[in-house]
Amino acid sequence: MQCEAEVRRRLQEAGQEQLLRFWAELSAGQRESLLEELQLLEPGELREHCRRAQEAYREESSAPQRLDHRMSPGHPDYMGSVRRSPPEQLQTWEEEGFRQISQDRVAVLLLAGGQGTRLGVTYPKGMYNVGLPSGKTLYQIQAERIRRLQHLAGEKYSTRCTVPWYIMTSEFTLNPTQKFFEAHDFFGIDRADVVMFEQRMLPAVGFDGKAILERKDKVAMAPDGNGGLYRALADNRILEDMEARGIAYIHVYCVDNILVKMADPTFVGFCVSKGADCGAKVVEKSYPSEPVGVVCQVDGVYQVVEYSEISPETAERHNPDGSLTYNAGNICNHFFTLDFLKIMARTLEPRLGYHVAIKKVPYVDAEGNLVKPVRPNGIKMEKFVFDVFQFAQNFVAFEVVREEEFSPLKNADTADKDTPSTSRRALLWQHYRWALRAGARFTDASGCAIAEVSSVPEAEDPPAVCEISPLISYFGEGLDVHLNNRDLTSPFILDIQGV
């Protein structure tokens, strides 16, 4: 470990000497911990990071840059759609996806480095229980979907196949995630096929361009955004691990979507059939001003344009057939080839720009008192995983049905949307629809029939509670044998133990 004098010299070079201002008050253990943290901060990078953060904050505080006149919708040839593509075409794509999965050429990569601050918990989101009858967490649901997918592909091609699960964590989520998986025996997945790795952390910066001390002996750090994936892939030699396993295609997704279809065969098959090196799943916007980014072209290059970067007039623009012109809502659900990830991680990653997040960052004041600010006081710099679209040689998008594939968990139940209640409700409505299609009928505890409801009323639970284990069905398949012509008492759980 470097000595105090060397670390102090490096901080002076970076213009951040204030990070040692409480040195005289620290115990030997605190000094060792702080030095260990500071020696990871290269002076030139730290100086540039703080300068960039302050500059970006000033730009953010000025009028936002509008992209309206540079935008155009994507070409129809780049788009596939669950709703609009012919059924036989969807089946062809699905078969291609299963073929690739059966040959051990597909992996899934989970982005799980963020803190559950808005959700109001101190543990990783994947460990969250949204209140399903089974009590399953997001991690367990996703693990069981992978196991079912492996079974389906193996059964289809009479082979034994593996879909490796890569999980990008952060300083905040790595240890609890590891312990959680170990405590649950990796949910039945071979632990050699679950690869966890850590993304980089960057200092939070004050509006004065100075890195913030969270405690007298600790710098306030934050993950470098989900776009930190590309540097983390290189830092942790994940690309080499993928190559050794024979992986060619990677499905990347965020931990908080309870409806996510990991390594969705239809999506994988669509991207492979199109020869894509980069792809994105999208959903139709719920309404023109919905605050989501849209996938489109800017100056002829594909990217995600945030809602703050376009005017209300552009958001409201319609095509001659009445559909929204900019309607492809980004849901952070992507396809990449391994070759594309290699190029990004080893060559192009430095060209990705940073995004500014203005946050309330706890800090110690000049007198050493811990302060929890009531208004934003710090700048966190992030890269976004989808900012690589611009470098794709062949980018494609695949439109899916929101109520079937996208219900994120971001906020506590006190919020209006993206809460534990909305996530739980979305999954239970989906399983209720699956059960009805399979020929099930529902009764209440008194044996009275429960009337079927086909449409989903906003903010209401389904008329009958039915939860189907992913180990039984990945996406509604194979349920006839279990549910056809059966009377089910609500609440009903169909799990592997009962089969």
**Separation in Å, CA 452 to CA 82, 436, 443:** 25, 8, 10
d(CA 77, CA 75): 5
Q: Which amino acid is at 62?
A: S
Q: Is residue 414 part of a domain?
A: no
Domain of 480 in residue numbering reads as 427-498
**Separation in Å, CA 247 to CA 106, 153, 336:** 6, 16, 11
Q: Is residue 421 part of a domain?
A: no
d(CA 227, CA 236): 15
User: 375's torsion region: left (phi>0), alpha (psi -120 to 50) or beta?
Assistant: beta
Query: What local confidence, expressed as pLDDT, does residue 1 receive?
Result: 52
Q: Is residue 447 part of a domain?
A: yes
Q: Centre a 10 Å sphere on the Cβ of residue 90 and count the other Cβ atoms it contains.
A: 16
List, for the chain, all residue ranges whose pLDDT scores fall below the cut of 70: 1-2, 62-64, 454-459, 498-499
Count Cα neighbours of 227 within 13 Å in the Cβ-side half-sphere: 20
Per-residue pLDDT reduced to its tens digit, 317-350: 999 999 999 999 999 999 999 999 999 999 999 9
Q: Are residues 395 and 443 in the same domain?
A: no
**Is the separation of the CB atoms in 249 and 338 below 8 Å?**
yes
Q: Are residues 356 and 387 in the same domain?
A: yes
Q: Is residue 178 part of a domain?
A: yes
Query: What local confidence, expressed as pLDDT, does residue 453 receive?
Result: 82
Q: Is residue 244 part of a domain?
A: yes
Query: What local confidence, expressed as pLDDT, does residue 498 receive?
Result: 60
Cα-flanking dihedrals φ and ψ of residue 21, to 5°?
-70, -15
**How many residues would you count in the chain?**
499
Structural domains in the chain (count): 3
Query: What local confidence, expressed as pLDDT, does residue 43 receive?
Result: 93
Q: Are residues 46 and 72 in the same domain?
A: no
Per-residue pLDDT reduced to its tens digit, 443-499: 998 889 998 886 666 568 899 999 999 999 999 999 999 999 999 999 999 998 765
Per-residue pLDDT reduced to its tens digit, 13-35: 999 999 999 999 999 999 999 99
Q: Are residues 302 and 268 in the same domain?
A: yes
CATH of the domain at 140: 3.90.550.10
Q: Is residue 410 part of a domain?
A: no
Q: Are residues 171 and 200 in the same domain?
A: yes
Helix boundaries (H) for 284-443: 312-315, 338-343, 402-405, 420-437
**Is the separation of the CB atoms in 439 and 386 below 8 Å?**
no
Q: Are residues 77 and 105 in the same domain?
A: yes
What is the residue-averaged pLDDT of the chain? Answer: 94
Query: What local confidence, expressed as pLDDT, does residue 497 receive?
Result: 75
**Separation in Å, CA 388 to CA 168, 170, 350, 384, 394:** 18, 21, 11, 8, 12
Q: Are residues 87 and 40 in the same domain?
A: no
Q: Is residue 237 part of a domain?
A: yes
Q: Are residues 25 and 128 in the same domain?
A: no
- Measured in whole angstroms, the distance separating CA 360 from the mean position of its chain's CA atoms is 23
**Separation in Å, CA 490 to CA 442, 447, 449, 456, 466:** 7, 10, 10, 18, 7
Q: Are residues 145 and 30 in the same domain?
A: no
Cβ-based neighbours of 470, under 8 Å, separated by 6 or more: 141, 144, 145, 147, 148
Q: Is residue 355 part of a domain?
A: yes
CATH of the domain at 493: 2.10.10.100
